[in-house]
Amino acid sequence: MSTRELRRLPSVDRLLGEPALQKLAPRYGHRLIVRAAREALARAREEIRDGAEPPDREALAVRAATYLQNDLAPMLRPVINTTGVVIHTNLGRAPLSRATIAAMEAAARGYSNLEYDLPAGHRGHRTVHAEQLLCELTGAESALVVNNNAGAVLLALGGLAAGRGVLISRGQLVEIGGGFRVPDVMRESGAQLVEVGTTNRTHRHDYEWALAAGGVALILRAHHSNFRLIGFATEVELEELVELGRAYGVPVMDDLGSGALLDTAAFGLGHEPTVQESVAAGAAVVCFSGDKLLGGPQAGIIVGQAALVEPLKQDPLARALRPDKLCLAGLQATLMHYLKDEATEQVPVWRMLATPLEELNRRAKRWQRRLRRAGIEAQVIDGRSAVGGGSLPGETLPTKLLALPAADPDRLAAALRGGDPPVIARIEDDRLVLDPRTVLPEEEGTLLERVRDETMRQ
Ligand SMILES: *Cc1c(COP(=O)(O)O)cnc(C)c1O
């Protein structure tokens, strides 16, 4: 009996002709697709021997495609973010502006003056281009670009304080996602952690006592980023730390994390400290990410006083952490948007944060109408979008959500994640909701197709 059932399974060749596998051919090539088809057939044979019904050819092709994409050759590929979390670290943080992508593509395609001084006709320095722009934008004397902000903090701590004490409030010994923990980075840098104050309250005199005890190379302020200290809590302001440090000849380093160049308060959010503010407040060294609120490629940026930042460029660790040409080309292009005062229109994370509620409502309504034409009744409801990326925790922006009809929202969410391109959605109050804020205009057509197909299949 089971042999007859087994014979009903298609051949590998017939399976390869199925659309689910055909459409993957350009991306994966023949060899991997054949392996996936064989694997799906082998598994089906086993199931049949265990008494299962043979799957039909289409279902088998879908299984092979899923196996190919998730297990055999998982690839970094684009996903559509409908979560409303603008800087979603798991989804690659900041999407880049058109000009940024173009600059990266141009740098990728051919040669560039990466380390070549064009007027002089000889070797130049790789990060000069972005550094000039950073100084212009932030008011700092000097700047340095590395791979990511964790690297920037490590480099700065090691370079400025190895073997000596670094003061930090106990309320700022933070852990950022992805294993970045201030005490661990401190240890790795060779600097000695000197904790001051308590978890909820640190006062000026806590720093002062530690400074008076001597052996202190640096005062570190770390932005809380992903949590809030509320209730019976006190921290010492950056200006005050700078003033204290001056009295003892100790510089202040500010790990800003997100590193906004614009004021988030202008968009109905709380105030995220800006880089310019830290520089103006007198922080000697300021570190931040390139791909959080700056909205550019992954990078770690150090700006500050030349006397402290310039020597870091000679550190062997700076060489180990150096950014590649694509990063530098992209960072430059992103920074130009700020210099040209066009960041809120051109830099996607800022455009998303600045999208007016009426616009989000129009988009949600348009999606609703298009799904209705396919016989799907979705609802437009009020909701909230988050900034994410360790910026402004607990702060949200009002948005409009499209709530999809689904008997089992978890199953629909899994189906949306499973297809191509994957759609990452959110479940709220037992409903699957789509937030238009984080969907790029060019993704809309594909998103609605996927939503229509998966909703009808449920
Ligand atoms: C995000 C963050 C970091 C790490 O930055 P990456 O660019 O992810 O390496 C370090 N410090 C703070 C305060 C952060 O928020």
Question: 262 and 151 in one domain?
Answer: yes
Tell me the percentage of the chain whose pLDDT exceeds 90.
86
Question: Which atom, in ligand 1's list, is nearest to the CA of 182?
Answer: 11
Domain range holding 437?
A: 80-90+349-457
Compute the distance between CA of residue 405 and CA of residue 412 in angstroms, rounded to an integer.
10
Q: What is the whole-number distance in angstroms between the Cα of residue 153 and the centre of ligand 1?
A: 9
Domain boundary residue, one of 321, 346, 371: 346
Nearest to 202 by CA among 237, 152, 175, 227: 237
Instruction: Please tell me the distance between residue 62's alpha carbon and the centre of ligand 1 in angstroms.
Output: 39
Look over the chain and give the mean of its residue pLDDT values, rounded to a whole number: 94
Ligand 1 atom 1, closest CA = 257
- CA dihedral over 28, 29, 30, 32, signed as positive or negative: negative
pLDDT at 345 over 90: yes
Instruction: Note the pLDDT tens digit of each residue in 96-148.
Output: 999 999 999 999 999 999 989 999 999 988 888 899 999 999 999 999 999 99
Report the separation in Å between the CA atom of 288 and the middle of ligand 1, taken as the mean of its atom positions.
Answer: 7
Strands 423-424 and 80-81: parallel
Question: ∠290-256-356 over CA atoms, to 5°?
Answer: 65
Q: Which of 90, 154, 180 to mutate to test the pocket of ligand 1 (most atoms within 8 A of CB)?
A: 180
Last residue of a domain, one of 346, 364, 397: 346
Domains of the chain: total: 3
Pair 292, 411 in one domain: no
Atom of ligand 1 nearest to the CA of 298: 7
Task: Find the mean pLDDT for residues 169-177.
Answer: 90
Identify the burial level of 441 via C-beta atoms within 10 angstroms of its C-beta, where 0-12 means exposed, 13-18 middle and 19 or more buried: exposed
Please name the residue whose Cα sits nearest to atom 7 of ligand 1. 149
**pLDDT attached to residue 129:** 83
Same-domain status, 85 and 105: no
CATH, residue 444: 3.90.1150.180
Q: What is the pLDDT of residues 195-216, one digit of tens each?
A: 999 999 999 999 999 999 999 9
Residue 125 pLDDT: 86
Helix axes 204-213, 238-248, angle to 10 degrees: 20
Backbone angles phi, psi at 288, to 5 degrees: -160, 170
On whether both 342 and 236 belong to a single domain, the answer is yes
CB 311 within 8 A of CB 272: no
Q: Which of 260, 176, 248, 190 is nearest to 219 (CA)?
A: 248
Q: pLDDT at position 3, please?
A: 78
Q: Quick one: tokens of 231?
A: 């209730």
Q: Are 286 and 302 in contact (CB under 8 A)?
A: yes
Percent share of the chain, pLDDT over 70: 100
**Dist CA 80 CA 378 (whole Å):** 19
The predicted structure's pLDDT at residue 7: 84
Do 320 and 363 fall within a single domain? no
In 321-389, alpha helices (H)? 325-339, 343-346, 348-354, 357-373
* Mean pLDDT along residues 282-287: 98
Contact (Cβ atoms closer than 8 angstroms) between residue 288 and residue 138: no
| C-alpha to C-alpha distance for 301 and 391, rounded to whole angstroms | 17
Whether pLDDT at 174 is above 90: no
The token pair at 136 is 């212009």
Q: Is the CB of residue 443 less than 8 Å from the CB of residue 80?
A: yes
Q: Tell me which residue has its CA closest to atom 2 in ligand 1.
A: 257
Over residues 259-288, mean pLDDT: 95
What is the spatial distance between Cα 93 and Cα 294, in angstroms, rounded to a whole number? Answer: 11
CATH of residue 269's domain is: 3.40.640.10
Instruction: Return the ligand 1 atom nearest residue 152 CA.
Output: 9
What is the DSSP track for 42-90?
HHHHHHHHTTPPPPPHHHHHHHHHHHIIIIIS------EE-S-EEE-GG
223-247 pLDDT, tens per residue?
988 788 888 899 999 999 999 999 9
Instruction: Specify whether 387 is located in the same domain as 440.
Output: yes
Pairing of strands 122-123, 116-117: antiparallel
Nearest Cα to 380, choosing from 305, 417, 434?
434
Q: Give the closest residue (by CA) to ligand 1 atom 5.
A: 149
The whole-number pLDDT of residue 317 equals 97
Q: 64 CA distance to ligand 1 centroid (A)?
A: 39
Q: Which of 238, 289, 291, 387 to mutate to test the pocket of ligand 1 (most atoms within 8 A of CB)?
A: 289
CA of 160 relative to ligand 1 center, distance in Å: 19
Same domain, 326 and 417: no
Q: Are residues 293 and 388 in the same domain?
A: no
**Could you tell me if 50 and 127 lie in one domain?**
no
Residue 402 and residue 358 in contact, taking contact as beta carbons nearer than 8 Å = no
Binned at pLDDT 50, 70 and 90, residue 300 comes out as very high
What is the residue with the minimal CA distance to atom 13 of ligand 1? Answer: 257
pLDDT value, residue 2: 63
Atom of ligand 1 nearest to the CA of 299: 7
Q: Name residues contacting ligand 1 (CB within 6 A).
A: 148-150, 153, 176, 180, 222-223, 225, 255, 257-258, 289, 300, 390
Asked if residue 277 and residue 169 are part of one domain, the reply reads yes
On whether both 85 and 197 belong to a single domain, the answer is: no
Distance 300 CA to ligand 1 centre (A): 8
**Mutation test residue for ligand 1: of 155, 175, 225, the one with most atoms within 8 Å of CB:** 225
Whether residues 137 and 162 share a domain: the answer is: yes
Domain limit, last residue, from 285, 318, 346: 346
Please choose, from the candidates 445, 448, 453, the residue with its C-alpha nearest in 3D space to the C-alpha of residue 412.
Answer: 453
Tokens of 174: 């933070």
- Ligand 1 atom nearest residue 255's Cα: 13
Over residues 351-404, the pLDDT tens digits come to 999 999 999 999 999 999 999 999 999 999 999 999 998 778 878 999 999 999
Q: What separation in angstroms does the CA of 367 have from each of 377, 422, 435, 437? A: 11, 18, 11, 13
Q: Is the confidence at residue 425, as pLDDT, over 70?
A: yes
Predicted pLDDT at 301: 98
pLDDT score of 230:
85
Question: What is the separation, in whole angstroms, between the first and last Cα of the chain?
Answer: 32
Whether residue 1 has pLDDT greater than 70: no
Please give the distance, rounded to the nearest whole angstrom, from the Cα atom of residue 257 to the centre of ligand 1.
Answer: 4
